[in-house]
Structures are given as C-alpha cells and as structure tokens.
Amino acid sequence: MPAASTTLRVLAASVIASLSVTGCQSLDDAGVALGRSDLVNDLAARMDRALERTWAAEYQLGGGQVASVAQTRKPLRSSYAWPGGKITVTQESVTRCASTTGRTSCTVSPPLLTAGKPSVIVYDEVRKQGQITPPAVIRLLTEAALAPDAVIEQSDTTLAGHHATCVDVSHAGERFAACVTNEGVLGSFTGTLDGKPAEMTLSRYTETVEAASFAVPAGAGVVDRRTTTS
C-alpha cells in the first residue's frame, strides 16, 4: 500500500542515524553495524519503491491456504485478501469483508487517508489477520540491525521466477527468515509475528492487475456506512 512509503523511509533512516551516533562501538562493531544498516536500507528501499507501483501477488500460507495482495498507482488503491476476509482501500473508501458459515458480509467505511494516501492503520488490521506486511518486516529487521548480539545471514534465491535477497536473523532468542524480490515485493517470511507463528511464500507475481481484485466477493452482503442522514 502506498501509505507506508514515508514510514519505511523513516525506519530505514533511523537505522543509519542510530548506528552513526553510537560512540562506544569498536571499529569492528562499527563495520558490522554499517553492513547491517546497508542491508536493511537496501531491503527497505526495494519495498518502498514497490509501494508506489502497480502489481499483484499471491502467497501460499502455512497449512496450504492462499492469500493475495493487489495494488495500482492510478487510481490509487490496494487490496489484501486472506482465507475468510478481505480489506480494500481506495481514496473513496475502506471496504472490509468477512466470511462466516458460508456467508460473506462487507462494510464500506469512509477512507482512512494520510496526506491523500491510505492510512498505515490498515496495515495493522491486515497484520492481525496473519498476513505479513512490509512495515512488519522492516520493523523486525531494524530491531535486529540495532542489536549488537543479532546474527544476520544473507543469501539469494528465486521465488515464483523472481530473484530475491534473503536474510536469516537470530535475535533475542528468536529467529526469522525473510526474502525480498528485486521488484521490492515480500517474497517470503517464516517466523513469529505478534507472538504467533507466521509463514508465507510468494507463489505468483504480475504487474497486470485485474479490476476484480478490488471488488467485493460475489454474493456478499454490503453495508455502506459512508452515507449519513441528518
């Protein structure tokens, strides 16, 4: 979602600032810190640029379920779908859909905008549904980059036909692995998020987005809360 563009820049910049002003590091420590900040900044920059482009992706979740992400630059809109739910954000509205006992209900609310872009609050909603979002990964990387005892190992792989840079991070007794494609799309994540195991792997990526990606599910009941009466 384009909304997090500023947030990602700030997070990445904070890593450099924090590492630069630490006066008690040894030369070796400073070199390690610089390497970590470079790596975090590279991954953050990739994700940041991707938030400003048009693309769609599908992910395989743990347990064999499927989730998807779609976004377009013009018009500005984005959509996250997961088993049992969906959130679509545009400059006109936020549509939240949930499926229970075979029935899907959607609620249309006024837009959550920050400087004309969808609010990062939506990312928090999506994360609570078990989806891993770019801000969540950047936060974890930032924490690890600032921790002197963290071990960050880098590798490369191919996901859904796209090259990706991967990091395996051990920090504070926990471990996670994440990959980011050259296009800036989150390629995979395995670890713990909000205290719960989380796993997702990119299975499809395209720069062509179908309009149906932003539509409410067929047959869904819709309540529009944008309309008010005097």
Q: For residue 180, what are its two tokens? A: 């980011």
pLDDT at position 113: 59
For residue 102, the one-letter residue type is G
Can you give the pLDDT at residue 119? Answer: 57
Is 149 part of a structural domain of the chain? yes
Enclosing domain of residue 73:
2-224
Close Cβ partners of 227 (under 8 Å, ≥ 6 residues apart)? none
| Segment 181-192, tens digit of pLDDT | 999 999 999 998
3-state secondary structure of 203: strand
In a domain, 229, yes or no: no
Instruction: Return mean pLDDT, the chain.
Output: 80
Model pLDDT, residue 140 = 85
Torsion, CA 112, CA 115, CA 117, CA 119, rounded to 10: -40
Between 40 and 162, residue with greater pLDDT: 162
Specify if 59 maps to a domain.
yes
Specify if 230 maps to a domain.
Answer: no
CATH of the domain at 189: 2.50.20.10
148 within some domain? yes
Cα-based distances in Å from 134 to 41, 54, 144: 13, 16, 15
Is 79 among the domain residues?
yes
Q: Is residue 18 part of a domain?
A: yes
3-state DSSP call for residue 130? coil
Number of structural domains (the chain) is 1
The Cα 113–Cα 141 span in angstroms is: 27
Which amino acid appears at position 56 of this protein? A
Q: What is the chain's percent helix, strand, coil content, to nearest 5?
A: 30, 40, 30
pLDDT, residue 189, reads: 95
Instruction: Decide if 116 is inside a domain.
Output: yes
Q: How far is CA 221 from CA 30, 126, 129, 199, 224, in A?
A: 57, 21, 21, 31, 10
- Give the pLDDT confidence of 109-127 residue by residue, as tens digits: 988 755 545 556 777 888 8
